[in-house]
Amino acid sequence: MITLKGAAVSAKIKEEVTELLRELAGAVPKLAIVRVGERPDDMSYERGALKKMENFGLQAESFSFSADISNEEFQAEFKKINENPDIDGILLLRPLPKQINERDIEHMIDPEKDLDGISPENIAQVFAGVNEGFAPCTAEAVIEVLKANDISLSGKRVSVVGRSIVVGRPLSMLLLKENATVTICHTRTKEIEKTCRDAEILIAAAGQAKMIDASYVGADAVVIDVGINVDQDGTTPVPGGVGAVTTAVLAKHLVTAARRQRGSGK
């Protein structure tokens, strides 16, 4: 197995962000982080994103709401954030509480401010293989890690364990764009261990800690664990793993969004 680390990838993206910022003539892009409730993983991601934005020289503001906020009230508050001209990008932490219609929010968010690829427009562009929209940050972070480690994807057998619209499915589309041969595995996949062992690159994105063990991994495979609970050998370690790269990609998306909205580039 080959161990991949994300800290160096995050540093490289920071250099790209610094270069893009120079073209904004001193303007500092602003991120809005929208959180409903106090789920520990949401709050952990929020803290990491706030720290990353500060480290990259960007602005960020948290908008937190009670877990019992009504659907109507949340939509009204989200509309204000979405239409605020001082906000260049939005990160909505999901899943939302069950009383909130998440689908309505996905359709409501401005695609140009949708930094994590949740709007129908951005999702469609990811599946169409075009670059105009924003892909989900975690999915894009996996591609960044592989490329930064000079791991060619063209023609490689890649197994993605997980089919969520947040990571597994969009990541599979990004891998296909790089000409990888992709197999999506999930709980109904027959002989899943064998399928994973046959992969040259194995990506665990099932959202379940300790699901993948040594029996799933071929001898020379590259393994990336997208989860935050990582303790197997041969995976991207945390801290310094995919999580660090995910927030770096978020920062890059923010600057890109600001440049587009201000007419400074694509």
Q: Are residues 141 and 227 in the same domain?
A: yes
225 falls within a domain = yes
Report the CATH number that the domain containing residue 197 is assigned in CATH: 3.40.50.720
Q: Are residues 91 and 184 in the same domain?
A: no
Q: What is the 3-state secondary structure (H, E, C) of the chain?
A: CECCCCHHHHHHHHHHHHHHHHHHCCCCCEEEEEEECCCHHHHHHHHHHHHHHHHCCCEEEEEEECCCCCHHHHHHHHHHHHHCCCCCEEEECCCCCCCCCHHHHHHHCCCCCECCCCCHHHHHHHHHCCCCCCCCHHHHHHHHHHHHCCCCCCCCEEEEECCCCCCHHHHHHHHHHCCCEEEEECCCCCCHHHHHHCCCEEEECCCCCCCCCHHHCCCCCEEEECCCCCCCCCCCCCCCCHHHHHHHHHHHHHHHHHHHHCCCCC
5 falls within a domain = no
Q: Are residues 145 and 194 in the same domain?
A: yes
Q: Are residues 44 and 88 in the same domain?
A: yes
Q: Are residues 106 and 170 in the same domain?
A: no
pTM of the model: 0.92
119 falls within a domain = no
61 falls within a domain = yes
Q: Are residues 86 and 145 in the same domain?
A: no
Has residue 20 got a pLDDT over 70? yes
Q: Are residues 169 and 237 in the same domain?
A: yes
Q: Are the C-beta atoms of 220 and 177 separated by less than 8 Å?
A: no
Q: Are residues 95 and 163 in the same domain?
A: no
Give the tens place of pLDDT for each residue, 214-256.
Answer: 899 998 999 998 865 434 333 444 444 688 899 999 999 999 9
Give the tens place of pLDDT for each residue, 112-157.
Answer: 999 999 999 999 999 999 888 999 999 999 999 999 999 999 999 9
3 falls within a domain = no
266 falls within a domain = no
Q: Are the C-beta atoms of 233 and 1 separated by less than 8 Å?
A: yes
Average pLDDT, the chain: 91
265 falls within a domain = no
Q: Are residues 169 and 84 in the same domain?
A: no
Domain stop point among 48, 75, 110: 110
Number of domains in the chain: 2
Structural domain of 62: 24-110
Q: Are the C-beta atoms of 35 and 63 separated by less than 8 Å?
A: yes
Q: Are residues 40 and 85 in the same domain?
A: yes
More confident site: 99 or 22: 99
Q: Are residues 59 and 144 in the same domain?
A: no
Q: Are residues 83 and 144 in the same domain?
A: no
Report the CATH number that the domain containing residue 48 is assigned in CATH: 3.40.50.10860
248 falls within a domain = no
Task: Give φ, ψ of 211 to 5 degrees.
Answer: -70, -40
Has residue 211 got a pLDDT over 80? no
